[in-house]
Structure 1
Amino acid sequence: MTRPDGRPALVTGATGLVGGAIALELLRRTEADVYCLARDTSREPAARRVPRLLTRAAADYGMDDVLDEIPARVRVLSGDITEPGCGVPDALLPAEIGEVWHAAASLKYRDRDRAEIELHNVTGTRHVAGLALRLGARALDLVSTAYVVGERTGLITEEPVTADRPANNVYEDSKRAAEALVSELPVDTVRILRPGIVIGHSETLAAPTTFGLYSFVDELTAFRTKVEAKLGNYLDHYAIGILGDPATRGNLVPVDTVATAAVRLSLVGAPGGIYHLTNTEASRLGEALAALTGALGIRSPRWVSDRAELNSIDAALSERLEFQAAYMLQDKVFDASRTRRHCGDGLLTVPLSPERIGEYITRYLKDGAAEQVVAARKAAPGV
């Protein structure tokens, strides 16, 4: 299958979880070249880093059919979205691009990092939008997040964000601004793609990321290590108190489901607008956390509705879960009617039992990412 207009695609964020999966899906479903815009680092130039990470992801996802396509069709553009023109001289730009996929972003969320977050997620989006215009792209797809709606609860439709509920953090704020920016872009088609909480591959369970669900794993792993160093096997006997509602629904969606839906929207010529790339089978927070603690070998948490019910050890964990705290109290259900209209009803339905979630977490722990996080935090103060 070729691209709708036969022209190559350009992907930002191809070294990340969602951007990399989209690049691989484009290689699998189309025949055109895929340009990947990425920064050179002090240790490795983009020309080596991009194909290395894409090759690793393809192997992790069992996409053997794509491995030969990476050296044959991936074209790396060394640049930086935080710089004007994305730091790419005109002479190095491809002659034409049919569609731009903007997945690069800062995933930080704290107020102290506001300048950096806005530089990447707002200014960076502005630069990518300008690059799309320079390249004559007919479509731009912005990867946002379903949680851009902030404190809103209940049924969330595929509509622009309203100001009736504040954002939970700076990250959400920056994504709101990015969505508003591209919605006015004078290209034929602008799609705003809002994934849920992206987890590993639906079959291999691999997840080259430490964000989303896996940040929970990292925080609890680091917390367990701290507690064991001071209190021995305390967690074998005491259930940690967590402020939240176990009935709260969270939307976990495999990365390959997100990438398949995103690329399918393009290939079928879906019109511009907002699309939820979310799982129609929501997960309950209580079940997910029970699976997580089970995989870590500690007792399931006890849920409390009042911070006063937390003891000092519980409170120490609560501080670590600063980012996740709001989402443990805000019940959201994401309507994906527009996406299903173009992608079919089955694609976005991925049942995730507690046992299956536990398997994702076990795979993540087996891959050793959480151990690296713990090693980096051993000198951190407090429990």
Structure 2
Amino acid sequence: MNGCFITGFPGFLASMLLKEMLKLYKECEFVLLVHPSQIEKAKDLAANRPNVRLFTGDITMAGLRLSPEQTDWLKNHITHVFHLAAVYDLAVPEQIAANINITGTRNINAFVKELPHLARYVYFSTAYVSGKRTGLIKEDELDAGQTFKNHYESTKFAAEKLVAELDGVPYTIIRPGVVVGHSKTGETIKFDGPYFIMRFLDKLRYVPVPYLGKSEALFNVVPFDYIIDATLCLAESDDAVNKVFHLTDPSPYESRKLYRMICEELIGKAPSWTIPPAVVEFMLSFSFFRRFFKVEKEALEYFRCACQYDAANTSKVLVKAGVQCPDFKDYVSSMVAYYKENRKDPEKLVYIK
């Protein structure tokens, strides 16, 4: 890699991706597209890096709000583009999601088409473009007439279609599952997704703990270090050109079992009874209960998602580089330990309405 353009900085995955790439590609020049509202934070994180440039811009605007001089420089130097900027909030309003996820991707697509030295365009989608589909979901499937659980899913689906329709652009589409902390250190930036389980259990440590229904649905979580390692492998593999990859757990646990493992690790006991999911959903329809348990209602859907994500393409490419997804049971202790140490950090808490 000679020149890399990364969106989404100083977001967590973009920051972790840059950190790893700085170790591997010491001669590479990095350009980070940073929204004006995030520029001071970005400066702090990228300080003292002579091969890192910060360009203030906006993916929702034509030309990315870059100057002609910046655009010319990028055309002469950029070989790889990593598009991570998106809105990931499950409760995001439709117009905001569409503006960032769809319009933003359309503008990045237009930008990459103007790069004469482009070797790869890596687009971060999500496994949940599958929406409400059930059963086996394959990597070469996208539009199966599915409906969606929220505007995040529907706009990421529409955005991925735009990337897949690009002609003459060497793209690679990444579809992660639910991303959690580092498999060794537990480090993460936000306590959402499975961390809502921990926030819920924090309120129940002195009473008999319930299972949340009897669902046998699989819950697909992946640590971010696997996402980073896999992404960098795919970004340079000729076998990944114009293909889609599920960065998901090939052997995910049932939601009920994953819930029990977290419960035992966090509060030292297993659930002993079952509460119907309809009751939980009803309770979380009231803001008082959502704020008390610190859980988003929208998160419940992902614990009863009755589908399995096939990752055959991913396995074929990553096995050559020795990259594989860790087993949840091997890193749940690190994940919980990090949560316990940082659960009162306001920067990591997701505000619940």
TM-score scaled by structure 1? 0.78
Alpha-carbon distance in 2 for matches of 1:373, 1:278: 24
Partner of 1:51: 46
Partner of 2:10: 15
Alpha-carbon distance in 1 for matches of 2:199, 2:207: 21
Shift of 1:169: 1.1
What amino acid sits opposite 2:326 in the alignment? V
Shift of 1:200: 1.3
Partner of 2:29: 33
Higher mean C-alpha displacement, 342-351 vs 124-133: 342-351
Secondary structure, counterpart of 2:121 in structure 1: strand
Secondary structure, counterpart of 1:236 in structure 2: coil
Partner of 1:190: 171
Question: Is contact 1:210–1:369 with CA below 8 Å preserved after alignment?
Answer: no
Q: Deviations over 1:172-226 (max 9, x none)?
A: 10110110111122343111100111111122221123333234434555xx2xx
Alpha-carbon distance in 1 for matches of 2:347, 2:4: 34
Q: What's the RMSD between the two structures over aligned residues? A: 3.1
Partner of 1:90: 68
Partner of 1:200: 181
Q: Percent identity?
A: 23
Partner of 1:209: 190
Equivalent runs, 1:258-273 vs 2, <5 Å: 258-269=227-238, 270-273=240-243
Q: Deviations over 1:276-302 (max 9, x none)?
A: 112223123123222333455386454
Q: Deviations over 1:69-114 (max 9, x none)?
A: x713222111121222111112123233112110111012236x11
What amino acid sits opposite 2:207 in the alignment? H
TM-score scaled by structure 2? 0.85
Secondary structure, counterpart of 2:122 in structure 1: strand
Change (3 A) 1:338 1:180: same
Partner of 1:329: 304
What amino acid sits opposite 2:163 in the alignment? V
Question: Is contact 1:218–1:374 with CA below 8 Å preserved after alignment?
Answer: no
Alpha-carbon distance in 1 for matches of 2:261, 2:184: 18
What amino acid sits opposite 1:88 in the alignment? L
- Structure 1 stretches of 5 or more lacking a match? 53-69, 225-233
- Structure 2 stretches of 5 or more lacking a match? none
Question: Is contact 2:6–2:14 with CA below 8 Å preserved after alignment?
Answer: yes
Change (3 A) 1:260 1:373: closer
Shift of 1:138: 3.8
Count of residue correspondences: 341
Change (3 A) 1:202 1:238: closer
Question: Is contact 1:264–1:343 with CA below 8 Å preserved after alignment?
Answer: yes
What amino acid sits opposite 2:62 in the alignment? P
Change (3 A) 1:288 1:260: same
